[in-house]
Each structure stands twice: as structure tokens, then as C-alpha cells.
């Protein structure tokens, strides 16, 4: 069994991994750069080590992180999500140095991270994929010819892309000529590769993803699906498990496809297979070779601790469950509470949290690394916390989500919480009638008023009195 884990990440996911390690009597080691000196993951881990002043360089330095793991007696590294979590060279370096990488093997990360190789693997395994290029595009002329064959609209995508970056929709040859060099430029800057490919654009689909777990003994299971259709510019906002829109037959079918996809590439550890649903058609989109931000809602409906299973799998143990052991109960929602101002085009709102009160009550979970007085640095993702609610029925989980969002107090910065309340109040959402067009189709949901809660007014009055009294 793994004895000591270096967590190559920060924020709430680092705290999440620390907790799983503590429950399994595994020592945890945190890393941090100067802006994170007072971060919660640093306080909660058994040990913590500085990577220097640069906000990002340390978190993105594989040799330094692996060497630190060796120096501190760690036998494993958990990459979390983001940063180096899907960096094949990082995983390969761990393998070379005798450090267990808590994730799939380096060659699998590379294969599934390369979107064209992933499409080829799925095509060979009989998993349906969207019509598009077989391999990378050689230039805009080939792109124009292929687009005429498969029909507009089409998507130009970075082969090594992710996180909603390196993607452009084109509705005409003129748009394709304009957007092609932009995707090339963005892909080169963001991912260090100018390779791009083309897919048929599936208009207004439902974005459905399936959580899988696979061990080194040939066992692969799925933990049912999540609906990630509530998104803005390819960035997920609210996630749901299971999808309230799938029939039992569709649920069984897509779960089977995800298992088939994982088996086809010899996958190990936790991963997510993402699909697009359009009518009764389903298409493979990509596979994320890491733990997902939204793994929380799968845990809520199945009772499976996904991070614990990651640690067990990496230790060479078999899965704790077989497919017939896994069932789901009720519905769960996850709200990504971001430090952003929805009324100002979601402009980041970094700064000091003057007051934070976490919501609670039955069926409420909060994963976060913030606290009252914490200064949100401007160098990282804007997510402050993940608010998760669970209930037995769809109607109950929506109502509980509204209540939990109203319970939460987060002052000093702008957040997306009030905007999410508007979404939950919309009749289409309440009737589970939505797809990826929901957010752009409802700009009126931004027209909410910024009401100050009595608790916020009381805090402001107390601060003014204290300042006047010279406290």
C-alpha cells in the first residue's frame, strides 16, 4: 500500500486528496508557491514545501516536483486535475524515478490526450465518433474541402486541447478561413502544438460524461453519468448526476460504451469518457485521464469514494466494487462558485474574502480551500468552492440547491452564486429540459438585482463602528 503521497496541486482538490489520505493512514505532502503560503492545503497536509516565489513555475516543473517527492520519502504523486495531471512526460518521469503516478500510464495519457489518436482508438473499438478528419489537418485548403463534404457547421479543434480552449465553430467557408489561423495560434500558445483537426459540429447537444474506474487486474466499471450541459463558452457551470434526461436504456448503453472505451486502450485508474447526445444519437467526444472537478456528484449518488479508489488502484489493489455492486440513488447537483461577476461578462473578481459562511443541512457538501480572510490570488482558476446538494428526487434537489445557495455567505468578492439561483428558478431547468444552448439562449437570467443580505449589512455596520472606535 502507498505510504506517503506528494500532492502536485493546490486549492480544493489538494484538500480533497489530503482528506482521503488521512482516512487511509497515508501521509500527505503539499507543495506551494509564495501566493499560496497561507492556503488551506498547506495547513492541512502533514508536510508542506515551498517551490519559490513564481506563482506558476513550481506547479509546472515535473523534475523539481519528482525530485522533491524523492527527497521527502514519498512513494507516490497525485496530480489532481489541471496543471500536470494530463502531462504524459510528468507521468513518464515518475515511472522512470520509481514514483507511483496516481493515474494512468504515460502512454495512455499521451494517446487519449491526442484527440486524433483518441478518435482513431474509439473508431477501432466500435465507439461512435462524430464525422470529421481522420488525423490532423494539413492546412486550410484541406479543411475547406473536408468541411464541404461533411457539411457546416464544423468545429476546428486543437489536437492537444482541453478546458474549452483551442476550439472554434465555423458556419461558412469565410468563417473557416478566418478562424483556422486563430485556432493554430491559440493551440500553439496554450498547448505548444499547432496540430488541429476537424469535427462536425453537433448543434445544441446534451453533454453527457461517464465516470469509469479501472484497475491493473482487468476490472473496469462505470459509476453512471453526469450531465454537464449547463455551460458557458465550453466551461461547465452546473453539473448533474445522473442525467435527468436519459432513459434507463440510454443510461445502460452509454455506461457500456464508456467501459468499452476504457478497455480498448488498457486504461487504469479513474477517468471520464465524454459524449455528445443529439436526439437518439450519441458520439464520443474525448476522454479525461484524471479525476474530474465534478467527481463529487458521482460520489454523492453512488457512495463510492473515487479518490480512495484511485489510491487503492495505484497501490496495485483490485477495485472495491464490481459493476453489479454499484447502484445510484437520487440526484446531485454541483455548483462551481467562481470569483467572477456574471453581470460584467464574468470578469474575474479576485481579492480578500471578508466573510465566509458555508451552507449546511441535509444533503449538502462543500469542497473548498477558502476561509474568512483568505486572499484569492489572481494567478489561478477563479473557482472558490464546489457546492454540492443531494436529494431523492429531481424536484427536491433543485429546491435544496436554491436553499443552499441562499444559505451561503461569501462577501468581499463577486461570485456566480446569485446567477445560479436564476438558472434554478427557470421553468426549463426545473423541468429538466435543457442542452448546451441553455445559457446562451437565456441572457435575461443576467438581469437580476444585487440585493444585500441583512448579514452583509450587519457586517458592514460592525466594521464601520469598529473603525470609528479605533478598535
Taking residues 283-295, report their average pLDDT: 97
Residue 161: predicted pLDDT: 74
Tell me the average pLDDT across 56-67.
Answer: 97
Q: Is the peptide bond before 213 cis (omega within 30 degrees of 0)?
A: no
Locus of grid cell 454523492: 300
Give the DSSP per-residue string, 235-264.
EEEEEEES-TT--HHHHHHHHHHHHHHHHH
Q: Are 361 and 261 in contact (CB under 8 A)?
A: no
User: Alpha-carbon distance 150 to 198, whole Å?
Assistant: 10
Residue 191, pLDDT score: 86
Where do the domains of the chain lie, and which CATH numbers do they carry? Answer: 4-102 (3.40.50.20), 131-200 (3.30.1490.20), 206-454 (3.30.470.20)
Of residues 134 and 357, more confidence is placed in 357
pLDDT for residue 303 is more than 60: yes
Q: Quick one: pLDDT at residue 190? A: 83
In whole angstroms, give the CA distance from residue 283 to residue 293.
22
Q: Give buried/exposed letters for 185-222 (b at 16+ CB in 10 A, else e).
A: ebbeeebebbbbbbbbbbeebbbbbbbbbbbeeeebbb
Phi, psi (degrees; rounded to nearest 5) at 85? -65, -30
What is the rounded distance in angstroms from the CA atom of residue 60 to the CA atom of residue 51? 10
What percent of the chain stands above pLDDT 90? 89
Q: Is the confidence at residue 78, as pLDDT, over 60? A: yes
Say if residues 243 and 206 touch (Cβ distance below 8 Å). Answer: yes
Mean pLDDT of 349-359: 96
At residue 115, the pLDDT reads: 87
Other beta carbons less than 10 A from residue 361's beta carbon: 10
- Tell me the pLDDT tens digit for each residue of 379-420: 999 999 999 999 999 999 999 999 999 999 999 999 999 999
pLDDT tens, residue by residue, 248-279: 999 999 999 999 999 999 999 999 999 999 98
Helix (H, G, I), strand (E, B) or coil at 298: helix
Q: What is the mean pLDDT of residues 211-231?
A: 98
Residues 6+ apart with CB under 8 A from 67: none
Percent of the residues in the chain that have a pLDDT greater than 70, as a whole number: 95
Mean pLDDT in the chain?
94
- Helix/strand/coil for 216: coil
Q: Which three cell numbers stand for residue 126?
A: 466500435
Residue 337 pairs in a beta bridge with 385
pLDDT band at 193 (very low <50, low <70, confident <90, very high): confident
Report which DSSP code applies to 132: B
Place of cell 467572477: 340
pLDDT score of 462 more than 60: no
When comparing pLDDT for 354 and 456, which is higher? 354
Catalytic residue among 290, 336, 365, 400: 290
**Pairwise CA distance, residues 276 & 231, whole Å:** 14
Residue 305 exposed, middle or buried by CB count within 10 Å (0-12, 13-18, 19+): middle
Rounded CA separation 298/321 (Å): 15
List phi, psi (to 5°) of 184.
-55, -45
Mean pLDDT along residues 443-470? 67
Q: How far apart are CA 165 and CA 147, in angstroms?
A: 21
Q: Is the confidence at residue 466, as pLDDT, over 60?
A: no
Q: Radius of gyration of the chain from Cα atoms?
A: 22
**pLDDT of the residue at 165:** 78
| Catalytic site includes residue 168 | no
pTM value?
0.92
Position 309 scores a pLDDT of 98
Q: How confident is the model at residue 160 (pLDDT cuts 50, 70, 90)?
A: confident
Amino acid at each position: 500500500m502507498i505510504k506517503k503521497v506528494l500532492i502536485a496541486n493546490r486549492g480544493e482538490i489538494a484538500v480533497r486528496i489530503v482528506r482521503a489520505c488521512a482516512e487511509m493512514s497515508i501521509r500527505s505532502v503539499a507543495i506551494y508557491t509564495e501566493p499560496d503560503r497561507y492556503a488551506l492545503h498547506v495547513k492541512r497536509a502533514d508536510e508542506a514545501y515551498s517551490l519559490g516565489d513564481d506563482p506558476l513555475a513550481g506547479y509546472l516543473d515535473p523534475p523539481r516536483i519528482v525530485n522533491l517527492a524523492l527527497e521527502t520519502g514519498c512513494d507516490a504523486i497525485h496530480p489532481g486535475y489541471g496543471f500536470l495531471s494530463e502531462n504524459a512526460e510528468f507521468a513518464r518521469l515518475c515511472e522512470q524515478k520509481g514514483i507511483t503516478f496516481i493515474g494512468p500510464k504515460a502512454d495512455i495519457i499521451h494517446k487519449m490526450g491526442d484527440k486524433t489518436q483518441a478518435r482513431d482508438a474509439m473508431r477501432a473499438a466500435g465507439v461512435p465518433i462524430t464525422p470529421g478528419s481522420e488525423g490532423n489537418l494539413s492546412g486550410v485548403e484541406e479543411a475547406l474541402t473536408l468541411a464541404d463534404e461533411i457539411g457546416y457547421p464544423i468545429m476546428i479543434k486543437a489536437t492537444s486541447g482541453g478546458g474549452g480552449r483551442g476550439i472554434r465553430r465555423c458556419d461558412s467557408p469565410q468563417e473557416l478561413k478566418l478562424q483556422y489561423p486563430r485556432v493554430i495560434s491559440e493551440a500553439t500558445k496554450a498547448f505548444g502544438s499547432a496540430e488541429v483537426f476537424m469535427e462536425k459540429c453537433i448543434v445544441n447537444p446534451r453533454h453527457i460524461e461517464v465516470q469509469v474506474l479501472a484497475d491493473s487486474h482487468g476490472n473496469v466499471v462505470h459509476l453512471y453519468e453526469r450531465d454537464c450541459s449547463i455551460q458557458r463558452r465550453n466551461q461547465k457551470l452546473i453539473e448533474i448526476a445522473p442525467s435527468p434526461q436519459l432513459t434507463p436504456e440510454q443510461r445502460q448503453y452509454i455506461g457500456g460504451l464508456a467501459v468499452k472505451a476504457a478497455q480498448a486502450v488498457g486504461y487504469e485508474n479513474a477517468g471520464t469518457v465524454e459524449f455528445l447526445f443529439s436526439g437518439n444519437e450519441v458520439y464520443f467526444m474525448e476522454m479525461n485521464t484524471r479525476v474530474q472537478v465534478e467527481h463529487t456528484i458521482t460520489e454523492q449518488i453512488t457512495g463510492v469514494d473515487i479518490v480512495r479508489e484511485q489510491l487503492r488502484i495505484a497501490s496495485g489493489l483490485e477495485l472495491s466494487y464490481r459493476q453489479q455492486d454499484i447502484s445510484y440513488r437520487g440526484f446531485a447537483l454541483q455548483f462551481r462558485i467562481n470569483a467572477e461577476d456574471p453581470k460584467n461578462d464574468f470578469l474575474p473578481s479576485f481579492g480578500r474574502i471578508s466573510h465566509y459562511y458555508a451552507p449546511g443541512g441535509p444533503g449538502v457538501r462543500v469542497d473548498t480551500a477558502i476561509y474568512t480572510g483568505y486572499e484569492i490570488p489572481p494567478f489561478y482558476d477563479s473557482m472558490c468552492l464546489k457546492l454540492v446538494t443531494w436529494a431523492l428526487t429531481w424536484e427536491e434537489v433543485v429546491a435544496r440547491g436554491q436553499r443552499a445557495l441562499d444559505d451561503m455567505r461569501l462577501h468581499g468578492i463577486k461570485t456566480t452564486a446569485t446567477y445560479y439561483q436564476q438558472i434554478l428558478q427557470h421553468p426549463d431547468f426545473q423541468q429538466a429540459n435543457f442542452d448546451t444552448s441553455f445559457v446562451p439562449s437565456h441572457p435575461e437570467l443576467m438581469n437580476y438585482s444585487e440585493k444585500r443580505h441583512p448579514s452583509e449589512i450587519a457586517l458592514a455596520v460592525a466594521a464601520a463602528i469598529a473603525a470609528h472606535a479605533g478598535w
